[in-house]
Structures are given as structure tokens and as C-alpha cells.
Amino acid sequence: MSFSDMPVDVGPVYEGERIRGNQMLVELGGPKIDKKFELVRINQKAVDGKVVINGPDLKDMEKGKQYPIGIFVEVAGKVLEEDLEAVFERRIHEFLNYINGVMHLNQRYTTWMRVSQQAFEKGLNTFELIGTILIRLFKAELPIVEKAQVTFYTNDKEIAKPHAMAMDVYNARDERARGLHDDDVDMFYGCVLCQSFAPTHACCITPDRTSLCGSINWFDARAAAKVDPKGPIYEVPPGECYDKLAGHYSGIDEMMKKRSLGEIEKVYLYSGMEYPHTSCGCFEAIDFLIPEIGGHGIIDRNHDGVALNGLPFSAMANQTGGGKQMPGFNGISIQYIASPKYQQYDGGIETIVWMGKNLKDRVNEFLPADLRDKIATEEDVSDINALQKWLEDVKHPIINTDAYKNAVGGGEEEEEEEYEAEGAMVPMGTQSFVVPGAGGAGGFKVILKNCKIHAESIIIKRIDNKKKK
Ligand code: SF4
């Protein structure tokens, strides 16, 4: 496959390219835009090579502005089946990032792209070229795709209808997946598509734990592993179940150890606090510990503003992602919140005391009926001090737990002593950090395995380079 006729280079080497605000021509989708989506569907009547642009083309867009983006890819092929659509769809992220001068983040209805000014000046000035590159990559990397066509939607009017159609498709996929549970199957799946961004991350995809990007459920993974067993999505025999409550399986430990090159040795599928699942950067939401309450909050990628702890999604995402096991910050799919196994090792859904309002509205029907009105949102409480009163007023079940009593200072004396004796020791699992060399070059990586970190205080100092000089 050749891209010599293209004005910019195309290849995996450009994955991970970042385009800052001051380098971009335009932003497509992203947090400031209401409607954005990407969808793949099988259509045996797809016209190979066809690219349609509904709305303004790149060359008609105003520099520095944000626009809606809908990317609808239709594929044809004799052996294609519907379960493959979501898996193909996830490849849009990878393929667009192959283009030098295009940055693509997220998935489904959270697409966020930037096209660089530099690429535009080189001649990448139309979606026709981006669509053609996508089509070529789809056919080259997924040989069972025989024909492909792409349609772009780039204004509010054009995107409304296909966006609604895409949301219906995502909901139908999620609904189907909700009917199946981990105990019903004898095979799990893994995915390493995000290793270009997070080298120690692999997703464990089970019926109850949809991939944390939310785009690949157990059915999708099964179909992908069937057509390409040596590909980035593969079978993971669960092996021996060491702990049912934690979701601790020998097969998952083995897979994680192999795929993280020894950095991650143990994963509890249903815990955000002990040996949690690693997080890349594509998670739909973050389950975060609220230590002052002993409960958890959930913030999703589309949350406007800060969470209860004063941090926006982006700040917590930095803490959570990168392929690390970070107890207290766990990247999750929204679908996982609806699972009966949701963080059951940590106390389950009843530990959730705060959620972003939009997210709560979205998952409301899947929450236990007697908990729905007891989970606060930004409309109910504005800070952690107000949260404690709220929880006691609504009689949230967390207030009867030792975790809550210890956190707010009302625990039994004996428990308090035990807590103090252990200090504020947080089990951290495997942690790694990089020590840069002189002048920022070279350096080395330190990996702490099975460590517990106890700090009396953390001091964060800004390094003022001018002063240092
Ligand atoms: S988040 Fe997980 S399932 Fe989704 S593409 Fe990345 S590795 Fe694959």
C-alpha cells in the first residue's frame, strides 16, 4: 500500500503525535462540541473508494475554530458479520493517528480531532484525502474488508440525523452485552490496541467488564479474535479463579504479565483499589476514591467543570492513565457501572456517593432503585464538606460502613487505633517512574513491585528554570 500520492506522510510512526492549540488549523468534535461520532456499519452495497462530505470541507473552515465531526464508514466483504463493526470502528482511532498532522482522541460519541496548520499548508486541505487514507488503511490492515466508503458530517444541520442513528447503534450494542455475565462464559478476551500510547496497558474484556474505552464488548472481542486470532484482540482463557469477589483469575494475571512485559503481575477485575485494572487513556469515565468520605465518585469524559474533589476530568485522567495500576483512580467504561459486579471487591455500587449529573442521568435506570436518589451530583452538593451532610440526610448506605466511619472520624476506638497503627499506608501494587538524566536526556526507569508507600506529606515544587540558571 502506498501513500506517495498524499501530501503528508502516513504510518504508525505518527501515532502519539500531539497537536497543541497553537499548532492546529481546526478542532473537530471535542469537549466544546455537542455532537460528534464515529461509526462503522456493514453495507454490502458500499461503493469502494467513495468519500462524501456533508458540511464545510477543511479548506472552507475558519482557522482556530471548532466544528462538529461525524465519520461514518461503510464496509463490504463476504465474511463480515455485525459483531465486527465495533472492532473496526475502534481502528478509526489508530488509522487517523497514522496521518502526520492529524490527532485523534477517544471514540464513539466523544471523538476529538485536530488537524495541524502545517499539514494543511502541505496540502492536506480536504476530507477527501483523509477519507481516502482511511479507506486504504481499512482494506490493507483488515483484508476481510473488500470495499469501503466514508461519509463526513461537519455542521450541526448535517450531523443531527446520523448522530441519532449512531447513538441508537451504540445503545443496541450495549443492551445486548448487558444480558451476559462473566459466569456465563468460558473465554475472556484481551486487547492491546492502546499500547502505542500506554505500553504496559492491556484491556481484559469480559461480559461484565466492557473495555474501558466502551467501544469493544465481549461479543465484539469474540468476533475479532475469531477472524484474526493473532491480531490485537485475542482470547484469554480465564484459568483458575483464585477469588470470585475480586475477579482474580490466573489466566488474566498471565496475560497481563506477558503483555505488560512483566510490569503488571496481578489484576483484580472488580476492584479499583487493589490490583486494579490498568488504564490507558481512552477510558469513558474514572472511578475515584473520596478519602474524606471513604466512598467513591465517578466522573465521565464529557463532564463540564470539576468533580466534587475540585479536579476536572483531564487532571484526574493524567493521574489515572498511562498503563499504570493506580489504586483510587480507575479508568472504566460507562457500561461497567451497570454490571452487578461493579467494583464489588471494594463494596460495589453502594460505595458510589457522587456522580456527574449527565452521567447519572445516563445510567440512572441501571442503578439500584433505592440508591438512585442517594447519589449526589454537582446540583446537590458543591464540596466534600456538604457531601457528608447530604449522605446522612438521605441515609446513603455508605454511612453504615466502617470505611465511612473511619474516614469521617466516627469509627470504633479499636478500629481507629488499628487504622492509626497502619498509618496512611496505601497499597500501590506496581509503580514505575522515570528519573531523567542531566539536561533531560537519558535517565533511567525505576519500577517498584508490590510496594506500599507511606508519606507524611507530599511537597510539589515548581522548578523555575530561569532561577536555576
Ligand atoms: S481501551 Fe482497551 S479495548 Fe479499547 S482500544 Fe484500547 S486497549 Fe483496546
Ligand 1 pocket, mutate which of 40, 93, 216, 332 (most atoms under 8 A from CB) = 216
Contact partners, residue 469, CB within 8 Å, separation at least 6: none
Ligand 1 pocket, mutate which of 260, 282, 301 (most atoms under 8 A from CB) = 282
User: Would 12-177 and 284-320+347-422 be classified into the same CATH topology?
Assistant: no
Q: Which pLDDT score is estimated for 453? A: 62
Among the listed residues 72, 109, 428, the one whose alpha carbon sits nearest the alpha carbon of residue 300? 109
Ligand 1 site, residue 90, Cβ cutoff 6 A: yes
Range of lowest pLDDT (100-104, 192-196, 217-221, 275-279): 192-196
If one compares 369 and 438, the residue with the highest pLDDT of the two is 369
Which residue, by CA, sits nearest to atom 3 of ligand 1? 211
The model's pLDDT over 296-344, given as tens digits with 9 standing for 90+, comes to 999 999 898 999 999 999 999 988 988 989 999 999 999 999 999 999 9
| 31 and 75 Cβ atoms separated by less than 8 Å | no
234 alpha carbon – ligand 1 mean position (Å): 12
Ligand 1 site, residue 206, Cβ cutoff 6 A: no
- b/e map 47-79, b = 16+ CB within 10 Å: eeeebebbbbebeebeeeebbbbbbbbbbbbee
Q: Which atom of ligand 1 is closest in space to residue 90's alpha carbon?
A: 5
Q: Which pLDDT score is estimated for 205? A: 97
The pLDDT of 453-459, averaged and rounded, is 62
Q: Which pLDDT score is estimated for 458? A: 64
Ligand 1 site, residue 221, Cβ cutoff 6 A: no
CATH class of residue range 284-320+347-422: alpha beta
Ligand 1 pocket, mutate which of 193, 252, 256, 279 (most atoms under 8 A from CB) = 193
- pLDDT band of 1, cuts 50, 70, 90: confident
460 alpha carbon – ligand 1 mean position (Å): 32
The model's pLDDT over 356-382, given as tens digits with 9 standing for 90+, comes to 999 999 999 999 999 999 999 999 998
Ligand 1 pocket, mutate which of 15, 173, 191 (most atoms under 8 A from CB) = 191
Give the C-alpha separation, 352 to 255, whole Å.
30
- pLDDT band of 422, cuts 50, 70, 90: very low
**Average pLDDT of the chain to the nearest whole number:** 89
Strands 352-355 and 295-300: parallel
- pLDDT band of 457, cuts 50, 70, 90: low
Q: Which pLDDT score is estimated for 319? A: 86
Give the C-alpha separation, 42 to 82, whole Å.
7
The pLDDT of 172-191, averaged and rounded, is 94
Q: Which pLDDT score is estimated for 125? A: 98
Q: Is the pLDDT at 426 greater than 90, yes or no?
A: no
The model's pLDDT over 207-234, given as tens digits with 9 standing for 90+, comes to 999 999 999 999 999 999 998 888 999 9
341 alpha carbon – ligand 1 mean position (Å): 20
Quickly list H helices, 19-155.
Answer: 84-97, 117-122, 127-141
| 14 and 95 Cβ atoms separated by less than 8 Å | no
Ligand 1 site, residue 317, Cβ cutoff 6 A: no
212 alpha carbon – ligand 1 mean position (Å): 7
The pLDDT of 65-71, averaged and rounded, is 98
Q: Which atom of ligand 1 is closest in space to residue 203's alpha carbon?
A: 2
Q: Is the pLDDT at 432 greater than 90, yes or no?
A: no
Ligand 1 site, residue 279, Cβ cutoff 6 A: no
- b/e map 250-259, b = 16+ CB within 10 Å: ebbbebbeeb
If one compares 452 and 40, the residue with the highest pLDDT of the two is 40
Among the listed residues 299, 277, 295, 269, the one whose alpha carbon sits nearest the alpha carbon of residue 287? 299
- pLDDT band of 413, cuts 50, 70, 90: very low
Ligand 1 site, residue 99, Cβ cutoff 6 A: no
Q: Which pLDDT score is estimated for 455? A: 66
Ligand 1 site, residue 198, Cβ cutoff 6 A: no
Give the C-alpha separation, 75 to 390, whole Å.
51
Give the C-alpha separation, 26 to 119, whole Å.
11
Ligand 1 site, residue 92, Cβ cutoff 6 A: no
**Topology of domain 12-177, per CATH?**
3.30.1650
| 183 and 249 Cβ atoms separated by less than 8 Å | no
Which residue, by CA, sits nearest to atom 6 of ligand 1? 194
211 alpha carbon – ligand 1 mean position (Å): 6
195 alpha carbon – ligand 1 mean position (Å): 9
214 alpha carbon – ligand 1 mean position (Å): 8
Ligand 1 pocket, mutate which of 91, 194, 209 (most atoms under 8 A from CB) = 194
Which residue, by CA, sits nearest to atom 2 of ligand 1? 203
Cell numbers 448535517 correspond to 158
Percent of the chain whose pLDDT exceeds 70: 87
The domains of the chain are located at 12-177, 284-320+347-422, 426-468
Q: Which atom of ligand 1 is closest in space to residue 211's alpha carbon?
A: 3
Q: Which pLDDT score is estimated for 276? A: 97
Give the C-alpha separation, 126 to 405, whole Å.
59
The model's pLDDT over 241-299, given as tens digits with 9 standing for 90+, comes to 999 999 999 999 999 999 999 999 999 999 999 999 999 988 999 999 999 999 999 99
Range of lowest pLDDT (26-35, 78-87, 417-426): 417-426
Q: Which pLDDT score is estimated for 427? A: 41
Q: Is the pLDDT at 460 greater than 80, yes or no?
A: no
Residue 149 phi, psi (nearest 5): -135, 155
Among the listed residues 293, 245, 251, the one whose alpha carbon sits nearest the alpha carbon of residue 271? 245
